[in-house]
Amino acid sequence: MIFGVFRAGMARCGYARPQHTLSYAGRTKLAQAELAAFYPSVSCVPRPTMSIAEFNDRYVGKLCNDEPARTYVINGQIRGIRVVGRSMCFVDLQQQGSALQLIVNHSLVKAQVGDKAAFQDAVAGLKPGDHVQATGFPGLSKSERTLSLKCREVPKMLAAAQIAIPPRLTDRVKRQQNRTLDYLVNGVEVLEFRHKALTALRTYLNRRGFLEVETPILSGKSSGANATPFVTHLRGQEKQPLELRIAPELWLKRLCVGGAQRVYEIGKVFRNEGIDATHNPEFTTLELYQCYASLEELLEVAQTLLKDICVAVDTAVSRQLLAEMEQNGGAFRRVEFLPTLTRETGIDWATVDIADSKAMRAALSGAGIELPETVVSPQQILNKLCADYIEDRYCQSLLPTAILHHPAIMSPLAKHAGVVANRFELFVRGRELMNAYEEENCPQEQLQKMQLQQRYRDQFHDQESMQIDHQYIEAMKYGMPPIGGLGLGLDRLCMLLLDKARIEEVLPFGCLDDVNRQ
């Protein structure tokens, strides 16, 4: 028995009572004599008969008297211990968000432990943080009539804690740098929320006939978005660089060519960019593709998808967001890219060659607008103008706002009508949440757009410009149907609906710099 090991160790080391004041380090030192007793295999102990949640569901508000005829075996983690006198101990047990009080009374465990001195030694061997197995019957405490498990034996040790768990942890930096401790003290709300949001996403898409798939993360090319990839090598094949994907888009569209008419993937993407309040090099996205879907249909999908998620997660922000949409006729607010930019800058962009950065800078200079020297390519200029004159001025509210019909030069994978693409980006509270467009399905047009991107990459050293993917172009030639595609950032969705200011608050172990400290 573990309390026997504990008591013998106390005697050897000359410790005097009261033993319950022994530190974690002191107990660990004693445990060195027989570690297996403090970390047994669960194959050597009885299988639990009930969880704490199931016990509470069965007895909370329903138990009038003790039921010694029933016996339950329950596992959990000790979160608090209160010793009363020499013969009574109350233990707060927790398991997956549910709590249960254990009553360990000398009169019930006397046959196991012996006299009261031995009982004190036995309960002294327990500490907050320990994982234990309790065996007993349902009962009520005498004074408060609190539902309890009255133990027939001292709880069995399953795994001993060696470091004390603090009662509170509120410092943001300390929480981010030790998420294990953060979850122990503050709970796993973020993990549960992410699970609930992912479940809502999958339920929505599966109900509409979408097929969930997995596509390559590591390959010789990482096209599919305007971003800088991480580059690595396979051992023994150093001449062939490999890249982590920046988006699953081109793989998913290949599946549409192959006959899968509604597909989606929820997974990780990697972009070799900076870390800030809304960006992490590794993040989670949803991408879905539906054959024959127009831009208007994509807007309808986005609206109903976001509503479904808000209803499923049911947070204060999600309820406010639904109310905002309801006041707007149940729809997103819509803002047209070039007309809005014309109105805000005073420049008639219909008269400016937006594929020529010199012409764009001249028009801006004439309107008294100067841009940083690092903003050089046409798409960089348009991205900067969009951020300053559209996103900052029209997309800061909780009402989801769709910026529609971006210049085609900003959207090399999208169908275009004249100089604009059939595309929208969705913003809420100033943060991009979704990106969607009708996919370019003409191989010749797609090649020309990729060649233009390659030219910008070479001319302006814009590493985020897309490279040419000849194999994708060849796949398109089998006959790519009209496709509507939509991408959603799951981490930013969690930030929004949990009302978090920084992305690390919704990532299981924080941003990359936090991960490296753990």
What's the pLDDT score for residue 349? Answer: 96
Query: Is the predicted pLDDT of residue 20 greater than 70, yes or no?
Result: no
What is the DSSP secondary-structure string of 79-136?
A: EEEEEETTTEEEEEEEETTEEEEEEEEHHHHHHHH-SHHHHHHHHHT--TT-EEEEEE
Quick one: which of 438, 489, 439 has its CA closest to 306? 489
> pLDDT digit string (tens) for 381-407?
999 999 999 999 999 999 999 999 999
Predicted confidence at residue 33, as pLDDT, reads 83
Residue 173: half-sphere exposure toward Cβ, Cα within 13 Å? 0
- CA dist 409 and 250 (Å) reads 19
Nearest partner of 140 among 48, 83, 86, 61, judged by Cα: 61
**DSSP string for 176-215:** HH-HHHHHHHH--HHHHHHHHHHHHHHHHHHHTTPEE---
Token pair in block for residue 514: 């936090």
pLDDT at 440: 97
Average pLDDT over residues 184-198: 95
Edge to edge, what strands does the sheet with 231-234 contain?
218-219, 237-244, 231-234
Q: What is the mean pLDDT of residues 96-114?
A: 95
319 vs 313: CA distance, rounded Å: 9
Is residue 144's pLDDT more than 80? yes
Compute CA distances 496 → 76, 245, 270, 353, 487, whole Å: 33, 25, 21, 37, 16
Structural domains in the chain, CATH included, are 2-159 (2.40.50.140), 185-515 (3.30.930.10)
Alpha carbon distance 13, 27 (integer Å): 11
Q: Do residues 507 and 280 lie in contact, with contact meaning Cβ atoms separated by under 8 Å? A: yes
Q: What confidence tier does 16 reach under pLDDT thresholds 50, 70, 90?
A: very low
Q: For 409, which DSSP code?
A: G
Give the pLDDT score at 31: 82
The pLDDT of residue 460 is: 77
Read off the pTM.
0.88
Closest CA to 78 of 17, 151, 139: 151
Contact 215, 251 (CB under 8 A): yes
CB 269 within 8 A of CB 245: yes
Q: What is the per-residue pLDDT for 21? A: 57
Please say if the pLDDT value at position 221 is more than 70.
yes
pLDDT of residue 23: 85
List the one residue out of 24, 28, 17, 49 whose CA is nearest residue 5.
28
* pLDDT surpassing 50 at residue 14: no
* Percent above pLDDT 90 for the chain: 82
What is the Cβ-side half-sphere exposure of residue 402, based on CA atoms within 13 angstroms?
A: 24
From 241, 334, 225, select the one nearest 285 (Cα to Cα): 225
Cβ burial, residue 173 (10 Å; 0-12/13-18/19+): exposed
User: Do 106 and 86 touch, CB atoms closer than 8 A?
Assistant: yes
pLDDT for the residue numbered 10:
46
Mean of pLDDT values over 503-508: 95
pLDDT at 8 over 90: no
**% of residues, the chain, pLDDT over 70:** 95
What does the DSSP 8-state code read for residue 478?
T
Structure confidence at residue 4 (pLDDT): 56
Q: Which residues contact 23 (CB under 8 A, 6 or more apart)?
A: none
At 491, list the tokens: 């981490």
pLDDT mean across residues, the chain: 92
CA torsion through residues 251, 257, 259, 260, sign: positive
* Cα distances (angstroms) measured from residue 351 to each of 21, 338, 443: 81, 11, 29
How is residue 65 annotated by DSSP?
Answer: S
**Which amino acid type is present at position 101?**
Q
